[in-house]
Chains A and B, each alone.
Chain A
Amino acid sequence: DAMVIQNPRYQVTQFGKPVTLSCSQTLNHNVMYWYQQKSSQAPKLLFHYYDKDFNNEADTPDNFQSRRPNTSFCFLDIRSPGLGDAAMYLCATSRVRSGLKDTQYFGPGTRLTVL
């Protein structure tokens, strides 16, 4: 039973063409996260939502935006993808925001290719 679902698994876009990645969860968790993972690198947190409260990491480029229309769904919008934005994008959820033992559940990721 999938708990964190990401669509599509593979996305190809053109340089500068806006793209949206989707994440949904069946866990009813309060927090949803987006991470960027470049090849052979650690996942890097872009932002997270605690309910409807949006929290951007300080070094996340303005090119990246997010929307959370309801508890179950969260979207990552890349307004003008550059070649450097090609990466695996991981969505995760947790029940609460504190790091206190509250497991982050990860989706399978969407691999974005920018041509």
Chain B
Amino acid sequence: GEDVEQSLFLSVREGDSSVINCTYTDSSSTYLYWYKQEPGAGLQLLTYIFSNMDMKQDQRLTVLLNKKDKHLSLRIADTQTGDSAIYFCAESTDQTGANNLFFGTGTRLTVIP
């Protein structure tokens, strides 16, 4: 079965860059996603990357994908206190008849002022 792993905690100082890492096992993954969950809130899609890409940049966010190593990372530049949240990596496969979206356990990012 699919397995998506993340480290549980990350602390950074305000203004520094944050790098959140994720590994997955399903080589047929088609799309990989990063979701943000603030306390008491639902999941907000931050960005996604298609498996034939190795990098995607969106303002302060940079996603890197190493398909050979099945490693995904999310870099947040100039991290702000408002970025404190839990970040979930998720993968999906483009299988007809089902939506298979598998989440990692989440990384809790704490930004220290």
Contacts and interface: CB of A to CB of B under 8 A. Distances in A.
B99 A106 contact: no
Contacts of A6: 42
Contacts, number: 69
Nearest to A96: B99
A76 to B, nearest CB: 15
A50 B38 CA distance: 28
Interface string B94-113: 11111111111110000000
Interface in A37-92: 40-45, 48, 55, 90, 92
A104 B101 contact: yes
A103 B92 CA distance: 11
A104 B95 contact: no
Given A33-B99, A109-B42, 17 more contacts: A40-B106, A41-B105, A42-B88, A42-B105, A43-B88, A45-B101, A55-B98, A92-B43, A94-B99, A97-B99, A98-B95, A99-B31, A99-B101, A100-B31, A103-B45, A106-B35, A111-B40
A31 interface: yes
